[in-house]
A and B are shown apart, each in its own frame.
Chain A
Amino acid sequence: MVIRMERLKHGLKLYCHYVSISIKSMMQYKTSFFLTALGQFLVSFNVFLGIHFMFLRFHTVNGFTYSEVLLCFSIVLLEFSVAEMIARGFDTFSQMVRTGSFDTILVRPRNEILQVLGSKFELTRIGRMLQATIVFLYAVLHCNVGWNFAKVMTVIFMIVGGTAVFSGLFTVYAAFCFFTLDGLEFMNVFTDGAREFGKYPIGIYGKKMLLFTTFVIPYALVQYYPLLYLTNRTDDVINILIPLCAVFFLIPCYAFWKFGVRHYKSSGS
């Protein structure tokens, strides 16, 4: 146990070292950094405008009001951008496999994920995060949530769980790189797609979609169910804790990654 803790502490320290170098090298290209961050902001801003203009025409969707949808949109965006900042290194992982830089990671005595993620920390996602925060604040001010301790905790759990789900998906995406380098676009449905379509409460997509996102890829656990609680559609306190269950999603994702690394080591792709 003590050794475990020691290792964890060490790993964390190393990760921070990676992050500081990442930021340092990013700051060599300040313009590029700001523009990319701006781009992140603008892309999500378009999504926001899409919602905004739809609600100028329609008043509710499936009973959800404009500000409730914004609450949903901003929390999902927050979850996504935190996950991206940490784990988007997996996004360019196909390049790492293609150019063979993954080899240099394998010849170092450290966990592979720590090294991959550390070397590709993405501060530029701050643009998206900023957008999410602004919209979130707006939604908080205009929603009749009736904030209390339980609800604040719900939001925090949503962000923790959501970050875990998206990070897990990025991990799966990267693990696919070990098998194929050119079918990866498909995974975007689950990452970018989930961000894009998670802007509306999952309930509007019908029963089947709700089942899928409850039991297969647990988006609904970090979006729909806790949202019902936040917007006072249910009093069931279980909804506060549901988002935390989504963290278990990381287990199969990690297993798949390990499987991928083993495959890489036997095929040398």
Chain B
Amino acid sequence: MRKYLAFFRLRFTMGLQYRTAAIAGMTTQFAWGFMQIMIYKAFYETQPDAFPMTFSATTSYIWLQQAFLALFDAWMMETEIFDSILNGNIAYELCRPIRIYNMWFSRSLANRISRAALRCLPILLIAVFLPYPYGISAPVSVIHFMLFSMTLVLGLLVTVAFCMLIYGLTFLTISPQGLRIMFTSMVELFAGAVIPLPFFPEKVQKIMEILPFAAMQNVALRIYSGSMSATEMEKAVLLQVIWLIILTSGGSLLCRYAEKKITVQGG
């Protein structure tokens, strides 16, 4: 555990060093969130009755999404890992006394958390003080907030586990680039990064909600603003846990297979 913590500190310090980058990133995300809200506002004003969630729930969703972007961003896969697989540097990593799956998993986790830790507070702080209904409203209840925190963590774990699966699949293909492109665009759409899942037509939404992608950011962001019923929440959390188990076991199996393949081939 200590070595993971050390890694996290290192990443966080590195993030701080690039002060301008951090500020620029926050400003970008803030502008992005703001523009998104303007779009939904325009739609809301044209046809309020067609809105699947309340307007203020939508804005909360958008701000939380921007604040925690680094936790769920599908594009944020680690080039270093891809490179090490491609150029064979992975052989070094195999020499370390730590399971490769665990190492990469914790590394990606640390990477995402440290980035988010640096960026979420200012965005949340500003968004909280924005006038109703444009800012983040308070969570519906204490229970909702606790569930939000829990599902946020679960969602992050599912995201990382999914990325791990992609890294693992890289071993089996010649071109990781293709895999990466296909999967990231899929994640973007199905996880609710393009538009929140409730905005999809009902039939499509029903299918989407069972997929692992919905277990990423979707659950936490919607629970916070109270746009899920109790049964929906129960089901969603259960699905998160199930997907987490499936994805991690699939990923580590793949990694073990890959390790064997590398040792046999000698890099």
Contacts and interface: CB of A to CB of B under 8 A. Distances in A.
| Direct contact, A vs B (beta carbon within 8 Å) | yes
A42 B182 CA distance: 8
Chain B interface extent, by class: 35 or more
B43 A205 contact: no
A38 B180 CA distance: 11
A212 to B, nearest CB: 12
Contacts of B181: 35-36, 38-39, 42
B1 interface: no
B200 A53 contact: yes
Contacts, number: 102
A32 interface: yes
A58 B40 CA distance: 11
Interface in A41-63: 42-43, 45-47, 49-50, 53-54, 56-63
B50 A57 contact: yes
A200 interface: yes
Interface residues of A, number: 39
**How would you classify the secondary structure of chain A's contact residues: helix, strand, loop or mixed?**
helix
Contact of A46 (B31, B50, B188): B188
Given A183-B24, A197-B39, A60 B194 contact: no
B50 A186 contact: no
A206 interface: yes
B46 interface: yes
Interface stretch (B15-23, B99-107, B123-131): B15-23
A56 B201 CA distance: 7
A57 B52 contact: yes
B185 A42 contact: yes
Contacts of A182: 18, 20-21, 24
Contacts of A61: 42-43, 46
A49 B177 contact: no
Most-contacted residue by chain A among B27, B42, B50, B200 (CB, 10 A): B42
B238 interface: no
A205 B35 contact: yes
